Amino acid sequence: MQTFGQLWMAELINAKDKLGASMKVLAKQAAGESLVVRAVPCVSAKLRFVDAAGKPKADFIPWLQLVVTPGPALWKAIEEKTLAAEVVSLAGPYGDQPPGQPKTDAQGHVTYSGLIPGATYRIKTYGNNMTQNVVLKDFSVEAGKTGEIEIVVK
């Protein structure tokens, strides 16, 4: 699979009976303390994509990324002369991806399951010139919940 330098791990989504955990630890908190992390059942997110007029975006394939280290997308980071986010791509229309990438239905919905509770995920799409990409939304879903999120694609 051609990834153009991106780390792709489609295996991290849509698996059944997965457990996961997410936590932020500051250096002060970690100094000398024992930390306990408990894995809980993974969650789902039902996303609805609409255009600027509110009409559903059917057959749309967004990028779904797990944000490992926060920050702006690469192009924005270059403009701002700062560090970019570190992400793992899980699904999307990039390179020679395997068949069956999740895409929206006629109402603009796509559901991702097997997401880590509390982790930050990023939804992106191509920009107008098809070279730079655009971050549409960052989101997370609490343990025991299903996220329902509407995203406008301009």
pLDDT tens-digit series, residues 4-42: 445 556 656 666 678 777 777 777 666 767 777 888 888
User: For residue 75, what is the enclosing H or E element?
Assistant: helix 74-80
Sign of the Cα pseudo-torsion (86, 92, 94, 95, in order): positive
List all residues 6 or more positions away from 38 whose beta carbon is below 8 Å from its beta carbon: 21
For residues 119 and 130, what is the distance between their CA atoms, to the nearest angstrom?
Answer: 28
Q: Name the DSSP letter for residue 8.
A: B
List all residues 6 or more positions away from 95 whose beta carbon is below 8 Å from its beta carbon: 1, 2, 3, 4
| Domains of the chain by start residue, with CATH | 10-26+37-152 (2.60.40.1120)
Pairing outcome for strands 43-50 and 109-115: antiparallel
Q: Residue 44: beta bridge partners?
A: 146
Q: What share of the chain is helix, strand, coil (3-state, %, to 5)?
A: 10, 35, 55
Bigger pLDDT: 10 vs 49: 49
**pLDDT value of position 104:** 94
Report if pTM > 0.85: no
Tokens 């939804």 appear where? 123
Bigger pLDDT: 130 vs 75: 75
Q: Name the DSSP letter for residue 84.
A: P
